[in-house]
């Protein structure tokens, strides 16, 4: 059918035509934002889920909800290479400058800018063009100790006070939060703790892979009281059917019921895959309703595309030894497996494969669903590994 009218949108962070099954979570976020803005207590949100379940899409929606409530918002994405201050400084500067340009002068907002200036100076962050853009004297003695934990807490407090003075609130939204180091996560948690104790209108909304829960817990034991960790998972059968059916209906077309069921089964309800299958099925179908025979072709096309992009980019980032480790994991079949069993497949001792496993967790390839267990952070990655390396022999020790 006409590719110009194809409603599906496979791709990282692309808003889906139908945001299925997330109403409850968005309502929870809306209430949290409203309460914090009114100076009431509410736990911050950390969305937890595998790759391709729709975390970034949800963060974008929460960003919009915050803006609609008049929040000053920043949204940043953590990476393996950039430090937390490098991420936050340009974004927080923008928020403060926006608060500063509202009609009358606010001493609290000016103070916020000076504290940000101190924070930058003390951590010697190289954001040169930003430094030029922040033509203000530092606030000596605040946020300039050079210790991230102390300084970030002081910076967030100054930011919260500035927002309060402007009768608004600030939302700091951080995607891929599992990439923060333990020290950075610790500082972030501490800063949120301070701000919430003083009931300042500043909130953190994060999203990341399941390893973020352990990272937060190790960084600060009281993290579990500060945050809620809503799980973002595959869609239920009903929601997955709606995610396919409704966008097509809006274009005046339809799926045959058995075609819908087939796609939901093959994709296991994972949002990214639903978009990819829907997209291919639409383009391949000659007419509506899209029937089950089309799904077989769509599957071949979708898998080919995923193998070249979604799966491939992750695979290409691995060293040969890491590839062996995850190939051994894939060899054991879908789901989680004991670290000991993976080591067995590799023909090594568990202890000697432990650093390899930790490295893969840091890279965001695998996680530990329960102590001693290991699973992929990308759904259906085991099948991809078997397709990519069909014949595999244990590496020689
Ligand atoms: N609730 C949903 N219903 C249908 N499709 C969705 C939903 N949430 C996300 N998607 C689609 O899934 C894909 C991945 O979304 P993304 O937010 O990038 O996932 P993540 O950040 O968890 O890796 C995108 O193509 C998006 O359009
Ligand atoms: Mg994402």
pLDDT in tens, 217-246: 888 888 888 999 999 999 999 999 999 999
Ligand 1 center to 333 CA (angstroms): 25
Q: Contact, 254 vs 248, CB < 8 A?
A: yes
> Considering the domain 317-388 in this protein, what is its CATH number?
1.10.10.10
Atom of ligand 1 nearest to the CA of 275: 25
Q: How confident is the model at residue 11 (pLDDT cuts 50, 70, 90)?
A: very high
User: 258 — phi, psi (to 5°)?
Assistant: -70, -25
Check pocket membership of 51 for ligand 1, CB cut-off 6 A: yes
Check pocket membership of 296 for ligand 1, CB cut-off 6 A: no
Check pocket membership of 52 for ligand 1, CB cut-off 6 A: yes
Residue ranges covered by each domain of the chain: 23-228, 236-308, 317-388
User: What count of residues does the chain have?
Assistant: 397
State the Cα–Cα distance between residues 347 and 395, nearest whole angstrom: 8
Mean pLDDT, the chain, whole residue set: 93
Tell me what pLDDT residue 249 has. 98
Q: How confident is the model at residue 145 (pLDDT cuts 50, 70, 90)?
A: confident
Instruction: Tell which residue, 59, 41, 40, has the closest CA to residue 49.
Output: 59
Q: What is the pLDDT of residues 268-290, one digit of tens each?
A: 999 999 999 999 999 999 999 99
Please state which of the ranges 39-48, 57-66, 122-131, 251-260 shows the lowest mean pLDDT: 122-131
Is the pLDDT at 129 greater than 70? The verdict is: no
Residues 254-263, buried b or exposed e (16+ Cβ, 10 A)? ebbeebbbbb
State the Cα–Cα distance between residues 213 and 138, nearest whole angstrom: 35
Residue with CA at minimum distance from ligand 1 atom 12: 272
Ligand 2 center to 227 CA (angstroms): 19
- Overall CATH class of domain 236-308: mainly alpha
Check pocket membership of 22 for ligand 1, CB cut-off 6 A: yes
Q: pTM here?
A: 0.95
State the Cα–Cα distance between residues 155 and 152, nearest whole angstrom: 5
Token output for 315: 């695979």
Tell me what pLDDT residue 131 has. 53
Instruction: Tell which residue, 18, 19, 57, has the closest CA to residue 247.
Output: 18
State the Cα–Cα distance between residues 22 and 243, nearest whole angstrom: 11
23-228 and 236-308 have identical folds: no
Helix extents (H) in 124-181 = 128-133, 148-165
End-to-end CA distance of the chain: 54
Q: What is the pLDDT of residues 173-220, one digit of tens each?
A: 999 999 999 999 999 999 999 999 999 999 999 999 999 999 998 888
State the Cα–Cα distance between residues 143 and 116, nearest whole angstrom: 8
Token output for 218: 């190790």
Q: Could you give the 3-state DSSP secondary structure of residue 317?
A: coil
Strand ranges of the sheet holding 373-376, from the earlier edge strand across to the other edge: 337-338, 373-376, 366-367
Is the pLDDT at 395 greater than 90? The verdict is: no
Residues β-bridged to residue 156 = none
Ligand 2 center to 158 CA (angstroms): 30
Token output for 273: 């895959």
Q: What is the pLDDT of residues 82-127, one digit of tens each?
A: 999 999 998 999 899 888 887 777 899 999 999 998 898 877 666 6
Is the pLDDT at 36 greater than 70? The verdict is: yes
Q: How confident is the model at residue 77 (pLDDT cuts 50, 70, 90)?
A: very high
As to burial, measured by CB atoms within 10 angstroms (0-12 exposed, 13-18 middle, 19+ buried), residue 94 is middle
Omega before 349 within 30 of 0, i.e. cis: no
State the Cα–Cα distance between residues 133 and 357, nearest whole angstrom: 43
Cβ within 8 Å of residue 134, ≥6 positions away: 93, 113, 116, 117, 120
Please state which of the ranges 69-73, 128-132, 298-302, 323-327 shows the lowest mean pLDDT: 128-132
Tell me what pLDDT residue 141 has. 86
- Which ligand has an atom closest to residue 52 CA? 1
The residue to mutate among 23, 52, 54, 269, having the most atoms of ligand 1 within 8 angstroms of its beta carbon, is 54
User: 367 — phi, psi (to 5°)?
Assistant: -150, 175
Tell me what pLDDT residue 59 has. 98
State the Cα–Cα distance between residues 16 and 235, nearest whole angstrom: 13
What homologous superfamily is domain 23-228 in, according to CATH? Answer: P-loop containing nucleotide triphosphate hydrolases (3.40.50.300)
């Amino acid at each position: 059918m006409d590719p110009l009218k194809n409603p599906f949108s496979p791709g990282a962070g692309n808003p889906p035509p139908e945001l299925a099954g997330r109403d409850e979570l968005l309502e929870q976020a809306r209430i949290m934002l409203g309460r914090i803005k009114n100076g009431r207590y509410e736990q911050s949100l950390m969305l937890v889920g595998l790759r391709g379940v729709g975390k970034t899409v949800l963060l974008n929606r929460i960003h919009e909800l915050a803006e609609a409530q008049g929040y000053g918002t920043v949204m940043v994405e953590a990476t393996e290479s950039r430090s937390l201050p490098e991420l936050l400084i340009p974004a927080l500067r923008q928020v403060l400058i926006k608060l500063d340009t509202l009609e009358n002068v606010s001493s609290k907002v000016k103070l916020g800018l000076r504290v940000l200036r101190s924070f930058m100076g003390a951590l010697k962050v190289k954001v040169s063009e930003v430094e030029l853009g922040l033509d203000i004297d530092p606030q000596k003695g605040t946020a300039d100790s050079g210790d991230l934990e102390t300084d970030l807490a002081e910076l967030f407090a100054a930011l919260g006070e500035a927002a309060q003075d402007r009768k608004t609130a600030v939302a700091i939204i951080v995607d891929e939060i599992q990439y923060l180091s333990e020290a950075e996560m610790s500082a972030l948690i501490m800063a949120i703790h301070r701000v919430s104790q003083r009931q300042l209108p500043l909130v953190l909304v994060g999203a990341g892979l399941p390893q973020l829960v352990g990272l937060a817990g190790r960084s600060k034991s009281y993290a579990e009281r500060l945050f809620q960790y809503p799980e973002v998972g595959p869609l239920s059968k009903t929601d997955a059917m709606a995610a396919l059916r409704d966008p097509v209906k809006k274009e005046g077309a339809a799926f045959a019921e058995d075609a819908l069921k087939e796609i939901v089964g093959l994709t296991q309800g994972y949002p990214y895959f639903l978009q990819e299958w829907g997209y291919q099925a639409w383009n391949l179908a000659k007419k509506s309703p899209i029937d089950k025979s089309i799904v077989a072709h769509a599957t071949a096309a979708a898998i080919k595309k995923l193998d070249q992009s979604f799966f491939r980019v992750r695979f290409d980032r691995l060293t040969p030894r890491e590839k062996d480790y995850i190939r051994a994991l894939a060899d054991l079949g879908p789901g989680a497996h004991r670290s000991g069993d993976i080591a067995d497949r590799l023909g090594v001792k568990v202890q000697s494969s432990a650093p390899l496993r930790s490295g893969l967790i840091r890279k965001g390839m695998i996680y530990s669903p329960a102590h001693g267990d290991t699973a992929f952070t990308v759904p259906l990655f085991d099948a991809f590994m078997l397709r990519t390396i069909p014949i595999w022999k244990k590496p020689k020790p």
